[in-house]
Amino acid sequence: GQCSAACPESAISLRSEIDLVRREIEDPEKIVVFSTSPSVRVGLGDAFLDKAGTWAEGKMVAALKALGADYVFDVTFSADLTIIEEGCELLSRLLTASGPLPQFTSCCPAWVKYVETYHPERIGNLSSAKSPIGMQGATIKTYFASKEGLDPAKIVTVNVTPCTAKKAEIRRPELCDAGNVLGCSDMRDNDYVITTKELAQWMKEEAIDFASLSDAAFDSILGKGSGAGVIFGNTGGVMEAALRMAYQSLTGRPPADDLLDFEPVRGLTGVKRASVHIDGKTINVAVIYGTANAEKFLSGDISDYHFVEVMTCPGGCISGAGQPQMHCIPVVDDIRKSRIGSMYAEDAKMSLRNSIDNPQVARVYRDFYGSPLGTLSEKLLHTTYHKR
């Protein structure tokens, strides 16, 4: 299309990984399982349409099925799982001083690498929870494989993400936990990451007409996320999801509307700060995007903060480096706002808005993981970091 002709560099660097995934699909022995990150569904349409940020979840799933996916799962499911694990870790740091505060989010690999490289003294502040795709891959090769009677060695996990840094994340040597648990030493939790842009390019090569695709639904058992899982793609989304979960955990009541739509952490300000009062406790939070903003924040006194979300890309993953451009127009704030608006609109429409209420997540704990921060959860859903 118009965009790939004008951006030859990205087209060249994208080639090989699509071909590798194609080859896996052509191999009749392999079971290829795709998982889509929250932001892909509000970015993919930009490669085909004249309107930025169109909600395209159903078409995205249909496209992956047309390309040969055996299963299509949703990373919003594992975003909910992340919130439960990371939220329980935060509550444990708050209530039992089990680790240093503030706790930092760990779902952005570029931020994790930044801390490892430039602030190794802060590694203990990073949540040990894996990123949503990290949890998804480990859960697919263990829980899903055994539930469906599939050979985990034949499963190929492909994540479609807005993020180029995720390609390096899945190659971290620590992220081979499913293989360790199953005794297959050369198995990685996740095999491939392709970006939204690569998916769009692949669809164009296969002459898949985006506009005429009918909506398709995710496959079940790792296919359903809450609204909290959806808004993970926005700056502030992880924080909002965590606060919904923390409120309900601490009080036993669902959060009221002003916490369900928690405006102080929304929008395109580089550093947002807020305090939330839950059950007699005050939780001080900060939401930051960009490493320059994070560096400034870290250079101040941060001892009053309890939880800090950092995403490297402006506005969060919705404008990750792997998201397509509409007619080669640079991704400016208006486009970011359209993508963000699309996610919050979907969240507001959903009846399931709190990760803690997700029935598929409850089922994976009941049937497999046991409890958050339990032995198996720690093995498969948490990780370690190292000074670089």
- Least distance to ligand SF4 from the beta carbon of 241, Å? 15
Let me know if 328 is a catalytic residue. no
42 binds ligand SF4 (CB under 6 A): no
Let me know if 147 is a catalytic residue. no
The footprint of ligand SF4 on residues 94-113 (CB under 6 A) is 108, 110
- Least distance to ligand SF4 from the beta carbon of 138, Å? 18
Check 17, 116, 174, 378 and give the catalytic one: 174
Let me know if 88 is a catalytic residue. no
- Least distance to ligand SF4 from the beta carbon of 131, Å? 7
165 binds ligand SF4 (CB under 6 A): yes
Check 57, 85, 169, 346 and give the catalytic one: 169
The length of the chain is 388
- Least distance to ligand SF4 from the beta carbon of 238, Å? 10
360 binds ligand SF4 (CB under 6 A): no
- Least distance to ligand SF4 from the beta carbon of 222, Å? 20
Check 128, 198, 317, 342 and give the catalytic one: 317
The footprint of ligand SF4 on residues 293-332 (CB under 6 A) is 311-313, 316-317, 320
162 binds ligand SF4 (CB under 6 A): yes
Per-residue three-class SS string for the chain: CHHHHHCHHHHHHHHHHHHHHHHHHHCCCCEEEEEECHHHHHCHHHHCCCCCCCCCHHHHHHHHHHCCCCEEEEHHHHHHHHHHHHHHHHHHHHHHCCCCCCEECCCCHHHHHHHHHHCHHHHHHECCECCHHHHHHHHHHHHHHHHHCCCHHHEEEEEEECCCHHHHHCCCCCCCHHHHHHCCCCCCCCCEEEEHHHHHHHHHHCCCCHHHCCCCCCCCCCCCCCHHHHHHHCCCHHHHHHHHHHHHHHHCCCCCHHHHCCHHHCCCCCEEEEEEEECCEEEEEEEEECHHHHHHHHHCCCCCCCEEEEECCCCCHHHCCCCCCCCCCCCCHHHHHHHHHHHHHHHHHCCCCCHHHCHHHHHHHHHHHCCCCCHHHHHHHECCCCCC
231 binds ligand SF4 (CB under 6 A): no
Taking the C-alpha atoms of residue 30 and residue 43, their distance in angstroms, rounded to an integer, is: 29
- Nearer Cβ to ligand SF4, position 47 or 110? 110
- Least distance to ligand SF4 from the beta carbon of 214, Å? 29
Which residue number is nearest to ligand SF4 in terms of Cβ?
320
Let me know if 205 is a catalytic residue. no
Let me know if 163 is a catalytic residue. no
Q: How many residues bind ligand SF4 (CB under 6 A)?
A: 11
- Nearer Cβ to ligand SF4, position 249 or 323? 323
- Nearer Cβ to ligand SF4, position 196 or 226? 196
- Nearer Cβ to ligand SF4, position 88 or 294? 294
Residue 294's nearest CA partner among 86, 90, 110, 130 is 110
- Least distance to ligand SF4 from the beta carbon of 98, Å? 26
81 binds ligand SF4 (CB under 6 A): no
Let me know if 26 is a catalytic residue. no
Residue 61's nearest CA partner among 206, 251, 217, 174 is 217
Let me know if 86 is a catalytic residue. yes
Q: How big is the CA angle at 136 (ends 331 and 168), to the nearest 5 degrees?
A: 55
- Nearer Cβ to ligand SF4, position 69 or 163? 163
Residues with active-site annotation: 86, 89, 107, 127, 166, 169, 174, 317
Binding site for ligand SF4 (CB under 6 A): 108, 110, 162-163, 165, 311-313, 316-317, 320
